[in-house]
Structure 1
Amino acid sequence: MPSPPEEPQPIPPGRAWLILGSAFLAFTVGASVMHSYTVFLLAYVADFGWSRAETSLAYSVGQLVGGFSAPFVGSMVDRLGTRRMVLLGGALLALGLVGSAAAQALWQVVFLYGVVMTFGANCVGLLVFVPLVSRLFVRRRGMAISVLQSANAFGRAASAPASQMLITGLGWRGAYLVAAAVAAAVLLPLAALFGRGGGGQGAAPAPGVAAPRHWTLAEAIHTPQFWLLFLVYMFTSIGSFLVSLHQIAFAVDVGFDPLYAAGVLGMGSFLATPGVIATGTLSDYIGREYSALLAYGISIVGVVCALAITGPGDHLLLWLHACFFGLTWGARGPAITAKTADLFPGPRLGTILGVITIGSGLGAALGSWAAGFVFDVTGSYRIAFLGSIAAYVCGSVAFWLLRRPPRLAVEAARG
């Protein structure tokens, strides 16, 4: 089996921070492109007359493709390195956006967004950057991953108002062409910053401390912690995507102006950047479990605020929903991802994380489609929002059960 291409000597701290900043920017671009679909959803409904469930199909397929392609992407980054993955991701995103601008049928949107752009976004996302960052910031892993994870929240926050303004001014086809130009202009040159020496070994173990086990995928799969992490990813995604994809549509349905709703929800989403960094950094000090439970609780409060909205006069409730839900959008990510790196360190972390991430894709696909289906059947998102709360509770329980470190079956038998 070939060795990972990015395993040079430890690099200077300044270079490590530059790599982290570059990863943040690349991830931001990919996240912005993918999250903008929440705004394009209403444009598709108005232009093509598709139902909410039909319009949600591309997003759901994207989550499935993102999840099931994760092991492949994780294995690719373990072998090809970050630079080549960013180049591939940037090219696919730009290609998918240009193609989407010319789409005329639902299957075209499903293929371009759900397959081409989703795979491209995976190539500039967590799966590519977490193994790199976790090796560079061993002792501050929670903080570093939280900074990286906050790019997802920042991209989500920026995408809603920016996309809405572009669609209003240029139409949804013109908006896609602008997004393609931005993605290509940022990602393709940025790949050069991830040179062959970009991986790094990270800090060495402290004197007197044994080096961590280098887990393989086969070993990890035989531990209960692996499957608990799978459930955590799945339940968290279900809870989040039962709400997030349809937030703007929900606000417009109850009477809010589309641009106003996009602005409020976008402003709330900007809180996710400090929220993600705070909870991820906090996990280094109070533990991953307590940090994640705090984030789950705040998200539930945000969903409850949405359930209480009855009309366009409930501005305060809309703001509270946007702030509480936005503050913790992705806030569990650093704790979950850092926990994965804590439990299963080694050069095969990308592959292990990729397989576990299938749970996230399954949950996101189910949540985003189910919310649209519930609306089509009941004319309301109430049941979907209640399901979100239930999923968050299940995720909390699964995360709490991760307190003990994993042991191989043979080690457990000897113990």
Structure 2
Amino acid sequence: MVTEVPDSLTRHGLRETATLVVILAFVMNLLSRGIGETFAVFLLPIESEMGWSRTTLAGIYAIYMGAHGLAAVVIGWFVDRVGPRVVYTIGLLAYGLAFLLAQFGTEPWHFYLTTGVMAGIAMTAIGMTTATVLITRWYHGPRARQLSPAIGIAYSGMGAGVILWIPITNALIEMLGWRETYRTLGIILCVLAVIVYVLPWSKLQLTPLPMSRFGSVLGGSKDGHLRAALKTKMFWLLFVIMFITAVAMYLVGPQMVAYLVSVGFDSTVASLAFSINGFLTVFGIAGTGWLARYFGMKRVATISYAMSITAVILLACLTVLPVMALLALAILPLGLSQGARGPIVSVQASQAFSGQGLGAIYGAITMGVGLGGMSGAWLSGVFYDVTGGYVLSYSVSVVCALAGVGLFWMMREVPDR
């Protein structure tokens, strides 16, 4: 849904509103990924009470990521037609309901449905699919060169969410237990849905978009826009990059707390390390937006992959040398590089496929993240149950990251429009 810029907005007002849009996207991403990543601290308490295998538990997160990916196209299509207000509100309510229901879980399928399917769809609704459409419609034309930093800042909300919600959730679990913690988080999300609904959306109305060369292929048809994009090399490179990178990262991330506990660190230190990783992610993701603008996406992406590979190798070394210094050396490059490819892909997609069908196209690209995250999370559980350790997961993660580097160098950069 695209509306004209309100006449009441002056040039200064437009600039202020564009800034508010980025802040809103940052906050929604803080909730989207931050709440979802609390699975890392719920894993061990649920495993302790239920006695389920790691594959079963990893399946919850895998379904969550799969639902996130599969819902992305529909969510993007929905954003194009009804706008972010409705999508954000419904997403928060669905997230809250998922957590409220999860507190009663006693069987694996209860969690597959609630914190898996429902939470995955909700996370997509309040995440970067909606944010990318919203931001792109404010940062084009004279503000096109600010698109990369704007998306980088919005994306960094994911890392900020981990910083905020992981320690809060860990503390709540220790005080209240995991069931009451799910209930508390569910109530918070439902309250936030009401707050988001009453925001001054009349000032946040979307501005008209220029049609890209891809969008004009079928005469500017909204429905044809996605079909035209699916025929391009650019779309499939972006999709596979998102998929293979997600596999690499989710072979490691969801079980990081459990891994650190297994090598000798206590749960508080493990949760703190996970939070610090999220803290560094804020700077890494936001910085990527700026660096890619000046040094090019291929160079910046290559450096970020090199940092991820280094971090995974250092994490694996904790098996034989579980000391704080080595943990710190691993967390630094992991945090600064985790999620760093996301803003680059978002900007390239926004520049290549700008138009009224951007939501559906970006949603289709985002399916790569969901399916890759699902595959990585599930494989990490299978590898653990089969080998009793994490070395295989970390080895495959490194191989996938190397593949991501190659894919980036196959892609042509799309200039600012």
TM-score (norm 1): 0.91
Structure 1 residue 405: Cα displacement: 5.2
1:34-49 map, 5 Å: 34-49=36-51
Query: Structure 1 residue 372 and structure 2 residue 381: aligned?
Result: yes
* Aligned residue number for residue 213 of structure 1: 213
SS at 1:104 equivalent: coil
Amino acid corresponding to residue 271 of structure 2 in structure 1: A
Query: Structure 1 residue 338 and structure 2 residue 347: aligned?
Result: yes
SS at 1:131 equivalent: helix
* Aligned residue number for residue 300 of structure 2: 291
* Aligned residue number for residue 94 of structure 1: 96
Contact 2:246 2:373 in 1 (8 A): yes
Structure 1 residue 237: Cα displacement: 0.3
1:317-356 map, 5 Å: 317-356=326-365
Amino acid corresponding to residue 171 of structure 2 in structure 1: M
Contact 1:134 1:144 in 2 (8 A): no
SS at 1:357 equivalent: helix
Structure 1 runs (4+) deviating above 6 angstroms are none
Amino acid corresponding to residue 329 of structure 1 in structure 2: Q
Give percent identity, aligned residues only. Answer: 28
* Aligned residue number for residue 79 of structure 1: 81
Amino acid corresponding to residue 213 of structure 1 in structure 2: R
* Aligned residue number for residue 5 of structure 2: 8
Q: Which whole-Å CA distance do the structure 2 matches of 1:78 and 1:103 have between them? A: 35
Q: Which whole-Å CA distance do the structure 2 matches of 1:405 and 1:24 have between them? A: 24
Structure 1 residue 26: Cα displacement: 1.9
Q: Which whole-Å CA distance do the structure 1 matches of 2:286 and 2:176 have between them? A: 35
Q: 1:202 to 1:347 in 2, by over 3 A?
A: closer
Amino acid corresponding to residue 5 of structure 2 in structure 1: P
Contact 1:288 1:339 in 2 (8 A): no
Q: Which whole-Å CA distance do the structure 1 matches of 2:3 and 2:285 have between them? A: 27
* Aligned residue number for residue 261 of structure 1: 270
* Aligned residue number for residue 21 of structure 2: 19
Unaligned segments of structure 2, at least 5 residues: 216-224
Contact 2:284 2:336 in 1 (8 A): yes
Structure 1 residue 187: Cα displacement: 3.3
**Coordinate RMSD, CA, aligned:** 1.8
Q: Which whole-Å CA distance do the structure 2 matches of 1:41 and 1:314 have between them? A: 23
SS at 2:389 equivalent: coil
Unaligned segments of structure 1, at least 5 residues: 205-210, 407-415
Contact 1:289 1:403 in 2 (8 A): no
Q: Which whole-Å CA distance do the structure 2 matches of 1:71 and 1:197 have between them? A: 27
**Aligned with residue 389 of structure 1, among 376, 393, 398:** 398
SS at 1:193 equivalent: coil
Q: 1:40 to 1:312 in 2, by over 3 A?
A: farther
SS at 1:345 equivalent: coil
Q: Which whole-Å CA distance do the structure 1 matches of 2:90 and 2:72 have between them? A: 15
Structure 1 residue 162: Cα displacement: 1.7
SS at 2:355 equivalent: coil
* Aligned residue number for residue 243 of structure 1: 252
**Aligned with residue 308 of structure 1, among 291, 296, 317:** 317
Contact 1:6 1:197 in 2 (8 A): no
* Aligned residue number for residue 64 of structure 1: 66
Q: Which whole-Å CA distance do the structure 1 matches of 2:344 and 2:386 have between them? A: 36
Contact 2:58 2:377 in 1 (8 A): yes
SS at 1:15 equivalent: helix
Amino acid corresponding to residue 213 of structure 2 in structure 1: R
Amino acid corresponding to residue 395 of structure 1 in structure 2: G
Q: Which whole-Å CA distance do the structure 2 matches of 1:22 and 1:130 have between them? A: 12
Contact 1:6 1:81 in 2 (8 A): no
How many matched pairs?
397
Amino acid corresponding to residue 176 of structure 2 in structure 1: L
Q: Deviations over 1:75-124 (max 9, x none)?
A: 00000100001110111011111101111111001100111111111111
Q: Which whole-Å CA distance do the structure 1 matches of 2:297 and 2:351 have between them? A: 10
Amino acid corresponding to residue 56 of structure 1 in structure 2: A
Q: Deviations over 1:297-323 (max 9, x none)?
A: 111111111011125742111122222
Q: Which whole-Å CA distance do the structure 1 matches of 2:197 and 2:308 have between them? A: 35
Q: Which whole-Å CA distance do the structure 1 matches of 2:297 and 2:278 have between them? A: 23
* Aligned residue number for residue 181 of structure 2: 175
Structure 1 residue 186: Cα displacement: 2.4
Q: Deviations over 1:206-236 (max 9, x none)?
A: xxxxx74362111111111111111101011
**Aligned with residue 197 of structure 2, among 191, 196, 217:** 191
* Aligned residue number for residue 201 of structure 1: 207
Q: 1:78 to 1:203 in 2, by over 3 A?
A: closer
* Aligned residue number for residue 221 of structure 2: none
SS at 2:294 equivalent: helix
Contact 2:62 2:374 in 1 (8 A): yes
SS at 2:137 equivalent: helix
Structure 1 residue 202: Cα displacement: 6.8
Q: Deviations over 1:168-225 (max 9, x none)?
A: 1100011111211222222321233362552432798xxxxxx743621111111111
